[in-house]
Amino acid sequence: MKELEKLMEHTIGRVNINLRHSGIDVGPYLRDMAPVDNLLKFYAFYGIWSNHPIHFHFSRSNLAGSYFLGRCKVDNSILYKCDIRGDELKEKGETFDVDGTTLTVEDDEVIWIKNSLLIKTLVHNFSHNPEKLELFLIKNSASAPYANIHGSPVEGCFLEPFSTVDLTSLHDCRIGTYTYVNVGYLSHKEVESGRVWIKHNDDFEFNYLFDNDVLRNRYIAFEPGKGAMGMFMDFAEDRKIDFQRLYDVVNLDSPVKEIPRGASINRYSVWKGKNNISENVLVSQRAYLESASLGPGANAQENCYISFSNLAGYNVTAHGATIIYANMGKKCFVGFNSFLQGKPECQLTTGDECIVMPHTIMDLSEPVNIPGRHLVWGYIRTQADLEENSISLERLSKIKDGIEMGNMRFTGNGEAFVNAFRHRIDHILEANGAFFDGESGRGHAQKGQNISFNIIQPYPRGPLKGLYPTIDIEP
């Protein structure tokens, strides 16, 4: 126990040193969110599959309730109920074209988490940095519950609750509560809470900022000594008991008697009520389905909640997104940590090929109908709110300089922005195996059917109580 407490202070100290320019002490924010007693209760889980080289290495760390897949290293870190997903790591010998230069991966890529404190955080490698093809590094960093680190190496950073860093390399940055950042690279920056910020070179820039009072008073606030508070935390915490039984035993019967062709249901997903899934559907770990219907090729990614909703097919529900009482057309995208909450009498309806921006809040007080092929963002409660928080993709594609609507400002080339989003959605569907025809188009939904799961435990007593033994697991 003594060594575990020392490790907690060691990691907090490392983060504070890197953030000394901001004068923040992350300790009061995080200590109570990962109490030592809780770090003793849960085993770690790792998946082994034949589709990617693996090598797990753990040293002087605590891994309570965390899930690993792919080639991973953890040193001098505390990971509490995290998902470390390495199923898109680059393999030795692969080649990549970067601005006309062909680069070859010299060794299998590895996720390395060092001197860090991650709490209920999703790490998905899909790394984009051509300067470090073989290493996806998280170092001297801390993250609060339900943050997403997606393809984003981070060093010396603090990610507040429900924040997302997407395809962005960070160095000594603080990312605010419920903030989404996809800008390529940031160093020594503090990004305010409630900002949705996307930038690609000089091509385009999207900015939206939530009203801070609305965000803090109703949905999510974060204070030292008090932690994360608000509807988002209450929603997640109210459902955590449904996940508990998944971790009590290694083997569970599938919730579906006959799994459709090409579909995959992760053993660590929750199913309640009567759910229907079609072929090539992917249901990832810690996904939560309740009385939902997922059409062909749809996916429910990690930490997402889909309840009392129908998804027509080829839908992307990104990490941490919530969809309740909705009827969504084909090929709709719902971005990271979006919160779409309809009600039985106030349902959400969307046409085909809609794009709901990451970190969108739709907390409906009346039925809302989104026409097909629209981009949606911001804070929406009524059909009238939709008018200043959405735009047709056709209209956006014609914008050459910029547009302002409510709290949203877009500058640059609208066609480039729309094409970039469409390209990414197609990539996600292809990578997840949405178009698998029985022979070609195999993706995560098909490969994930072959994963076997194992558990590892910490020392149960003595001064090392709560630490995990130094372990190397190789194929």
Q: Which residues of 228-252 are buried (b: 16+ CB within 10 A; e: fewer)?
A: bebebbeebeeeeeebeebbeeeee
Cα distance between residue 290 and residue 209, in whole Å: 31
pLDDT exceeds 90 at position 251: no
Q: Are strands 374-376 and 355-356 parallel, antiparallel or unpaired?
A: parallel
* Of the listed ranges 88-97, 143-152, 281-290, the one predicted with least confidence: 88-97
The model carries a pTM of 0.96
pLDDT exceeds 70 at position 233:
yes
* Contact between 356 and 335 (Cβ < 8 Å): yes
Comparing 32 with 232, the larger pLDDT belongs to 232
Q: How confident is the model over 392-414, as a mean pLDDT?
A: 97
Check: CB of residue 110 under 8 Å from CB of residue 69.
Answer: no
DSSP result, 429-443: HHHTTTT--SSS---
Q: Is the predicted pLDDT of residue 457 greater than 80, yes or no? A: yes
The pLDDT value given to residue 131: 82
Residue 267 has pLDDT above 90, yes or no: no
| DSSP code for 87 | T
Measured distance CA(75)–CA(133) in Å, rounded:
20
- C-alpha 264/C-alpha 282 separation (Å) is 5
pLDDT at 409 over 90: yes
pLDDT of 126 above 90: no
Kindly indicate the confidence band of residue 449, based on its pLDDT and cuts at 50, 70 and 90: confident
pLDDT at 250 over 70: no
- pLDDT tens sequence across 79-88: 999 999 998 8
Round the average pLDDT of the chain to a whole number and report it: 94
CATH classification for the domain delimited by 2-212+451-473, as one of 3.40.1190.20, 3.40.720.10, 2.160.10.10, 1.10.10.10: 2.160.10.10
pLDDT at site 265: 92
pLDDT > 80? residue 249: no
244-448 has CATH 2.160.10.10 classification:
yes
User: Between these two residues, 244 and 432, which has the higher pLDDT value?
Assistant: 432
Spell out the domain ranges in the chain: 2-212+451-473, 244-448
Work out the percent of the chain whose per-residue pLDDT is above 70.
99
230 pLDDT exceeds 70?
Answer: yes
* Per-residue pLDDT at 419 exceeds 80: yes
Render pLDDT for 131-165 as a digit per residue (tens, 0 to 9): 888 999 999 999 999 999 999 999 999 999 999 99
Per-residue pLDDT averaged across 301-319, rounded? Answer: 97
- Supply the pLDDT for residue 1: 58
Same CATH topology for 2-212+451-473 and 244-448: the answer is yes
